[in-house]
Each structure stands twice: as C-alpha cells, then as structure tokens.
Structure 1
C-alpha cells in the first residue's frame, strides 16, 4: 500500500512538474513572439548613413552636377504584419515651393527586404515587377541630389509597408501621384534622412 501511494505521489509530482515546465515554455514563446512583433520597422543603407552626407555615387549626373546617379543600397526589416508590398520615395523637403521628388517606386514584392545599389537604372526593379515614377528632373526612376549652391538640403528616403500588392500605378506617372497612392495603402514606414550641399 505504501509503495502504491509512493508511485501515485511520484507520478502526480512528475505531472505537475511537466505542466509547470510546459506553461513556462508557452509563456516564453509568447513573450518572444511579442518581442519580435514589437521590433520597430527600420531602414538602413550601405550607400548612405542616417544624418550623413550623400556620396558622389548617388549625386545627379546632369547640368553642373557630375555624380554617378546610382540609387542607394537599401535594407529594411521588421515590417508590420499584413504587409503585402513595399514602396520607396526620396524627397528633398528643403527645395523651394512644394519640395522636390527625386525618386518614387512601387510594386516591390513583400518577399523583398533589400535593394542593391543602382537598382533603378540597372534593371533590377523591372525584374521585380516594380514601377518607377517620373521624378522632378522629368526623368523616370532615380534622380540624385543636385541642389543649388548654398546651404545643404535634407533628403528623406522612406520605405513604406503597404496593405496592397498592386497600387495600379504605371511606369512614368508623376511622383506626386505615386506619393498619393502610396499614402492610401501605407500601414507603416521607416526612413533615413541624409544631407547634400554644394
């Protein structure tokens, strides 16, 4: 009888320990998932540094600006749940009037989390099925910084997480139209601010 009670007691104790361990593992998993979900949506670049100066490779290549006009390398992570696609813009908020659109691209698949340098003119974006706007230089795709001589301008590079994979935008439509359509579908964004002056 004592042996039977001991076995029952040991079995009960083992069951309680298993339940406790299981509960702790479940809590840990939930906490880890929550921690991942709370990570901020971030944008980084190997070509430009947040708060830094744009390098000559990214500067425009017409008139009195003699840069490489290569769109910057970009990487992003921790996009919000429900993301079905991405869009990117580059805007000079210090240009006179309403500012100056340097780049707008939409239709980047949700499976993509980075663009190589020069994705705009190399054909990389076209291979993804993405479309690019006509910038304020009146060219399609990326147009790098080229402010008038004087105080440096601030350029805002933004990646948007979208709730739609298709904004029904066509290649070469004005960047302002891209901006409007991107705004209607954006569920999150991450940005870099860089500087350039002459």
Structure 2
C-alpha cells in the first residue's frame, strides 16, 4: 500500500463545498490519510492552485504534523494541532485561506498535497513563504499523496 489522502467533504476531482472557500466560512476541509510508511516521523500539507492567472498560488501550509495523526478535522490550524506550524500563504496570511479564483476564470483545481517525512520536526520560521517550505522539505519526503478539489466563481 502507499500513502493516500481523502476528504469527507469532497471526492477527488469534485467540487469543494462553499464553506471551505473564501466565499463561505473559509474553513479548512476535513482530511484523512492512511498507509503511511512505517518510517514516517512527521507530515507536511500544502494546498496549491496551479490554475491561478499569475502561476501556482499557495493557500496553506501546515507542517510538523505529528506522525501519529491520521487526518485533520474541519477548521484545523496550528493552534488546534499542538506542535504544528503554518507559514505565509499567497494572501500573506499564516493560516488556511480557501479557494477564491477570479470570477469568470473557469474551474480551478486545488491540490491538497500531503508528504510523509523522515524528520520528526522542521525548524521553519512562521514568516517563511509556503513555496519555500515545500522546497525545504524535499530532502525529507518519503511518500506523497494528494486529493484534488475543484472550485469556480
């Protein structure tokens, strides 16, 4: 088996409910994962929109997720998940900010990418940009999985 991630809020390739967007309540969706490699010491999650007009837009990074976790409840933040950290997203905030594509731009695909890491903890300042976190974790990735949600305005 290999690492997999799903969301009870939407199926892979289907529409993200409005409550998980900036047009709604802006709550991170619940996520669940399984079949992590036994050597997993922590996880990192990044949410990206590669369809953004100016290139890939990062909506959230949550890192130092403990290895014992098998998912995240709706509305998770670093304050809720003890020991985890969040970095600066494309909106300039250190939190989850859901989909909000330009009106009339068509459907955007939001990749919820989870990586299992061989490191128990990464020392990353909260002021770090989301894309820089993903670059920093590359040498520690032992497995990856993603679930993709779609949203348009």
Q: Same fold (TM over 0.5)?
A: yes
SS of 1:120's equivalent?
coil
Aligned to 2:127: 172
Q: Kindly indicate whether the alpha-carbon contact (under 8 Å) linking 1:70 and 1:120 is maintained by their aligned counterparts in 2.
A: no
CA distance in 1, matches of 2:32, 2:73: 9
4+ runs deviating over 4 angstroms? none
User: Within the alignment, does 1:124 sit opposite 2:80 as a pair?
Assistant: yes
For these two proteins, the number of residue pairs brought into alignment is: 152
- The structure with the largest alpha-carbon Rg is 1
Aligned to 1:35: none
User: RMSD of aligned C-alpha atoms?
Assistant: 1.3
CA distance in 1, matches of 2:137, 2:15: 27
Paired residue for 1:137, among 91, 97, 110?
A: 91
Q: Greater strand share, 1 or 2?
A: 2
Q: TM-score of the superposition, structure 1-length normalised?
A: 0.73
Gaps of 5+ in 2: none
Q: Greater helix share, 1 or 2?
A: 1
Gaps of 5+ in 1: 1-38, 61-65
Q: TM-score of the superposition, structure 2-length normalised?
A: 0.94
SS of 1:187's equivalent?
strand
Matches within 5 A, 1:1-198: 39-60=1-22, 66-120=23-77, 123-125=79-81, 128-150=82-104, 151-198=106-153
